[in-house]
Structure 1
Amino acid sequence: MKLIAQSENIENIVDKDSIYVDKTEYIYNLTKQYERVFFSRPRRFGKSLTLNTIGTLFEKGVEPYFKGTWIYDKWDQNKYPVLHLSFLEYPTTDLSEFKRRLCLSIYKFAEAHNIKNLLEDKEPSVLIVNLFDAMKDEQRVVLLIDEYDCQLTANINNPPLYDEFRNCLRDFYAALKGKKQIKFLAVTGVTRLKDVSIFSVGSDINDLSYDHAFSQMIGFTREEIQKFYIDYIKLGISYEKHIDTDSVSPTDVEEFLNRMAEQYDSYCFDEFYENKVFSTYSVNKFLQAIFQKQRVVFGDYWYDVGGLPSILMNYMESHNLNIEKLLTSEIAIPYNDFVNPTSLIDINENVLMCQTGYLTLKSEIVSGYGVILGPANREVRTALFLLLSLKIFDTTAPAFGLTNRYVIEKGNVEEIINLFNEVLAALSYDKYPVNDEPTLRALLQVYLLGKNHDVRVEQHNSKGRSDIIVNFPKRRVVLELKYTDKASEEQKKLDEAEKQIIEKGYGLENLGDRDLLQIACVFNGDKNKRQITIFKTVERT
């Protein structure tokens, strides 16, 4: 079996005979149709490999790294020197040092390509123009800029330094406008911000972040996974079903891909809301784990490495997130907020969540109409609520320890209620007070979803909707929650919860052969209690 690529460099992938999911048709069309492009994607999605592939084609051509790919007999570009700038490599807290390091990269490029008479300067915007002026009339350069917004996202809570970096970047991109020396320019980043001149009126850079034609250039399609990773898929099925890989049927493969899709698919970067992609990093790590661990583990790989980017950590220091909105599968935001975010300082929080990968497009983008966002899949939904847990709870509390991993799945009712009370005791009550039933329900849902439980929120049946249902292979737990701040009302509220469960049959729909545990409980919000004070197991008749 070929190895799964672990590099962002096409040369390393080919040299090690690793699997390369062929995206060269997109790159061919991109370079034929445009001269200057930008596209945003979340971290760990494949932006850097895409830029590296573009750079390798322009600098070295198709030999020897593109044999067997779509582009091999079609690429007809001349070779050009490539100036590849990754802003991840430059300082984020010292503007002067950032400028020095960026200028050093330009000097090294000029030296490596024998560009003489380059006038020195300490301002990157001036030095890049000097570079172009020093080039011969017929010379052209390919300019690739990766993670252009790294310095901005690092300073979301430092407005003065943010402004200094923004002004520097604005000047730098303004200096690139219209320069004939640039054969091709590609810029990537996580965010799309109108306060950088890259997107300003008159900019000659095409923003393809949600362009239909290139919506699957970064990310894996289901068809690509089945084509390039079929050996790994069959291996996983063989471990689960205890059969030889030769005995794996097409139906087995489809069912396995369906489960992968539920976990890692449905990121959408398509203005028409048609094309969707899997997370490249998560798919690679998931399939690698099958080979290494000899079992199938649907882990949360994206979050473990890139799921808590500094941009969100910094944002959350000064902003509270709207929990109840994030618990819904669809969040409507104004068209202009989505298309024209101005600055990280005042960006719509849901647009930021989308740009960082926690939410994705759930509707078409139509001028003048609201845009719908929501979590892409189960992995990112778990990551989202793990993120919220870090914000809302003291996650060093016992409730978040490994010893409580199976309490809800296997514990008795007293153990489950004790766990929930430990969770609620770990709340930051000054920021997230529990003053009503919807808030109580939302906070417990955040905890449960952050633990990757299969939680059905306000699950509908023919008679009504339950507060919380948690599904396990052999058990279903139903919680009907009531709120009061008076001890005298506790019994009455408990009776109401029990009556609702019985009359509406919460949890009975599609139960299968699971055991059903129905719990009525009452939370007392009095500041001296703040816990579930009374509960009851509902007996089925």
Structure 2
Amino acid sequence: MKKLPIGISTLSSIIDGGCVYVDKTALIAQLVNDGRYYFLSRPRRFGKSLLVDTLKELFEGNEALFRGLHIHPHWDWTKQHPVIHISFNDGVHTDRAQLEQRITGQLQDNAARLQITLPESNDNALLFARLLERAVAHHGQPAVVLIDEYDKPMNDQIDHPERAIELRDGLKNLYSVLKGRDTLLRFVLLTGVSKFSQVSLFSGLNNLQDITLRSTYSSLCGYTQVELEQNFADYLPGVNLEQMRRWYNGYNWLGESVYNPFDVLLFLQEKRYRSHWFATATPTFLLKLLKAGQYYLPELEHFEVHEASLGSIDIGNMSAEALLFQTGYLTIHDTLIRGEQLYLVLGYPNQEVKVAFTTHLLAELTPRTVRPERYSLRIYDALAAANLDALHELLKRFFASIPHDWYRNNHIEQYEGYYASLFYAHMVACGANTIPEDVTSTGQIDLTVIVENKVFIVEFKALDTEQANSKALAQIKSKHYADKYCDGRELYLVGIEFSKPLRNIVGFEWELAPQ
């Protein structure tokens, strides 16, 4: 008998035709027992739909699928609840009329599956209400409502605010049906990527618990390190677990960190470190938002925000940090208490996202004609060979290739951290291990770059003059930044001075540090 892929659980035919099951039903049981109305936000391809499918099978009482799993002896299999399952996962939503048509179709499909009839009407709120009422009356048990990717219609048009608002209003009409119907509802779960504050749901359904940042459920979707090593043991021989962890683990919602399951499945199939999850969608809107906001790119590795700023977003007034977090490009690294306020420290979850996202940002911050990706391999080779003269020439050539007209059209030269951001992005994009604002006992190194057992301590200064002043290298030496890395590896001190008027490097000094 084929088991249901419980929680986030199947490799099914992806790896040598085999299946792997990760039992998440202990967390699911706790979720069901602790409350009735929930909202869960997770990035795309994180197993939200599989979680919803699991809940559907559970509440419908399909006992055979759960034998041998944690929840089986703890569930009342004599009760079978009518489940209303609505998903916005498929297709792209373009306008209100199309959305209403899709909603009508799903309501009718649910009615047919539940063996009830709906009245003839063009009012989806009315149809949803009748579906809920008649399902409970026909089956004699309160209903379960599962709405998967509740926000996708709005996210499909996120860069077209007027369209997104139109779609939001259509969703508000549907979700308003859930208010004040406690006697008809046994359990409600809505999943999505973003929490939009004006969909009439979060203010109207008073008992709706947002468990996105509930530490207990941080690993509800995704694989923990223990789950990976125990359940996928047959596929891990020869895999460097530390390298795999650095590349793909690290997503965190104030609890235990997890892997994106999509990455795990494809990596174990190919055994190659690639940007599997990132490649499924290019975050064009986010890249433009970061560019417009003139963010200092190294800051994205240690970004402090107030907890409230991540809670929800509004169409037309979106903060980049909230979107970066909700969509999975940044995750929680730490918490800080200042006074009575809680702040969260965000950063890239892992090497995959850091390299892929920074590479795309580098392209967004430079003209298409420059094609910065052409420099990446040569920059890495120069670092690996400790050929710093070649690195100097590559960087000068890159900055010189940006036309002056492009600066004028973008006003990018007014962006104080622009040049340092480009240098940082090149170091990340080439594949080097980079540590921005690297803390030492005497101060902060601008950037530490590590390539093949070679360490480069870099101080980057943007000058308002056309002349170098040798202060960059002098600061590295006076602050004894190299002391942190006197561990036997080749250690290089690199001072780079950039002239903003000339828009290029005017000072490039380096030394091999004595060991």
Band the TM-score falls in, shorter-chain normalisation: 0.7 to 0.9
Identity, in percent, stands at: 25
Q: CA deviation at 1:364?
A: 6.9
Please give the alpha-carbon distance, in whole angstroms, between the structure 1 residues aligned to 2:122 and 2:401: 51
Q: CA deviation at 1:408?
A: 2.9
Please give the alpha-carbon distance, in whole angstroms, between the structure 2 residues aligned to 1:465 and 1:11: 44
Secondary structure of the residue aligned to 1:371 is strand
Q: CA offsets, 1:225-259, max 9 Å, x none?
A: 2211223333325xxxxxxxxxxxxxxxxxx3x44
Q: Contact conserved, 1:91 with 1:97, CA < 8 A, in 2? A: no
Question: Does 2:424 match 1:445?
Answer: yes
Please give the alpha-carbon distance, in whole angstroms, between the structure 2 residues aligned to 1:539 and 1:364: 38
Question: Does 2:251 match 1:280?
Answer: no
The correspondence of residues 119-518 of structure 1 with structure 2, limited to 5 A, is 119-135=119-135, 137-139=137-139, 140-179=142-181, 180-236=183-239, 256=241, 258-270=242-254, 274-290=255-271, 297-306=272-281, 308-309=282-283, 312=286, 316=288, 320-324=292-296, 327=299, 329-339=301-311, 341-361=312-332, 362-363=334-335, 369-375=341-347, 376-394=349-367, 397-401=370-374, 403-404=377-378, 405-410=380-385, 412-425=387-400, 429-430=407-408, 431=410, 433-434=412-413, 438-487=417-466, 489-490=467-468, 493=469, 495-507=470-482, 509-518=484-493
Secondary structure of the residue aligned to 1:455 is strand
Q: Contact conserved, 2:86 with 2:148, CA < 8 A, in 1? A: yes
Q: Which runs of 5+ in 2 are unaligned?
A: none
Q: CA offsets, 1:281-337, max 9 Å, x none?
A: 2233333333xxxxxx4433321225x346636xx2696244227625433333432
Give the aligned partner of residue 245 of structure 1.
none
Cα distance change on mapping 1:513 and 1:305 into 2, 3 Å? farther
Question: Does 2:497 match 1:525?
Answer: no
Please give the alpha-carbon distance, in whole angstroms, between the structure 1 residues aligned to 2:10 and 2:462: 58
Q: CA deviation at 1:347?
A: 2.7
Structure 1 residues 374-383 or 132-141, which shifts more?
A: 132-141
Q: Contact conserved, 1:193 with 1:342, CA < 8 A, in 2? A: yes
Q: CA deviation at 1:210?
A: 1.6
Please give the alpha-carbon distance, in whole angstroms, between the structure 2 residues aligned to 1:262 and 1:357: 16
Q: Contact conserved, 1:459 with 1:466, CA < 8 A, in 2? A: yes
Please give the alpha-carbon distance, in whole angstroms, between the structure 2 residues aligned to 1:282 and 1:190: 18
Please give the alpha-carbon distance, in whole angstroms, between the structure 2 residues aligned to 1:18 and 1:399: 42
The alignment covers a number of residue pairs equal to: 496
Q: Contact conserved, 1:268 with 1:275, CA < 8 A, in 2? A: yes
Cα distance change on mapping 1:442 and 1:312 into 2, 3 Å? closer
Q: CA deviation at 1:403?
A: 4.7
Please give the alpha-carbon distance, in whole angstroms, between the structure 1 residues aligned to 2:25 and 2:169: 35
Cα distance change on mapping 1:56 and 1:477 into 2, 3 Å? same
Q: CA deviation at 1:150?
A: 0.8
Q: CA deviation at 1:201?
A: 4.5
Q: Contact conserved, 2:8 with 2:24, CA < 8 A, in 1? A: no
Q: CA offsets, 1:83-126, max 9 Å, x none?
A: 3222122542121011112101211222233213x112223222
Q: CA offsets, 1:466-494, max 9 Å, x none?
A: 3332101232233333333444x33xx1x
Give the aligned partner of residue 36 of structure 2.
35
Q: TM-score, normalised by structure 1?
A: 0.81
Q: CA deviation at 1:445?
A: 1.0
Please give the alpha-carbon distance, in whole angstroms, between the structure 1 residues aligned to 2:503 and 2:200: 51
Secondary structure of the residue aligned to 1:137 is helix
* Structure 1 letter corresponding to 2:168: R
Please give the alpha-carbon distance, in whole angstroms, between the structure 2 residues aligned to 1:47 and 1:443: 36
* Structure 2 letter corresponding to 1:235: G
Q: CA offsets, 1:321-365, max 9 Å, x none?
A: 4422762543333343233x2513213221111111122233279
Q: CA deviation at 1:440?
A: 2.8
Secondary structure of the residue aligned to 2:292 is coil
Cα distance change on mapping 1:407 and 1:123 into 2, 3 Å? farther
Q: Contact conserved, 1:331 with 1:374, CA < 8 A, in 2? A: yes
Please give the alpha-carbon distance, in whole angstroms, between the structure 2 residues aligned to 1:268 and 1:234: 27
Q: CA deviation at 1:441?
A: 2.3
**Cα RMSD after superposing both structures:** 3.3
Please give the alpha-carbon distance, in whole angstroms, between the structure 1 residues aligned to 2:412 and 2:133: 62
Structure 1 residues 502-511 or 125-134, which shifts more?
A: 502-511
Secondary structure of the residue aligned to 2:137 is coil
Q: Contact conserved, 1:478 with 1:518, CA < 8 A, in 2? A: yes
Q: Contact conserved, 1:91 with 1:98, CA < 8 A, in 2? A: no
Please give the alpha-carbon distance, in whole angstroms, between the structure 1 residues aligned to 2:227 and 2:81: 30
Please give the alpha-carbon distance, in whole angstroms, between the structure 2 residues aligned to 1:144 and 1:265: 28
Q: TM-score, normalised by structure 2?
A: 0.85
Cα distance change on mapping 1:91 and 1:221 into 2, 3 Å? closer
Please give the alpha-carbon distance, in whole angstroms, between the structure 2 residues aligned to 1:474 and 1:299: 22
Q: CA deviation at 1:209?
A: 1.3
Question: Does 2:508 match 1:535?
Answer: yes
Secondary structure of the residue aligned to 2:188 is strand
Please give the alpha-carbon distance, in whole angstroms, between the structure 1 residues aligned to 2:133 and 2:477: 80
Please give the alpha-carbon distance, in whole angstroms, between the structure 1 residues aligned to 2:202 and 2:184: 21
Please give the alpha-carbon distance, in whole angstroms, between the structure 1 residues aligned to 2:83 and 2:442: 64
Q: Contact conserved, 2:99 with 2:170, CA < 8 A, in 1? A: no
Q: CA deviation at 1:17?
A: 4.8
Please give the alpha-carbon distance, in whole angstroms, between the structure 2 residues aligned to 1:205 and 1:463: 49
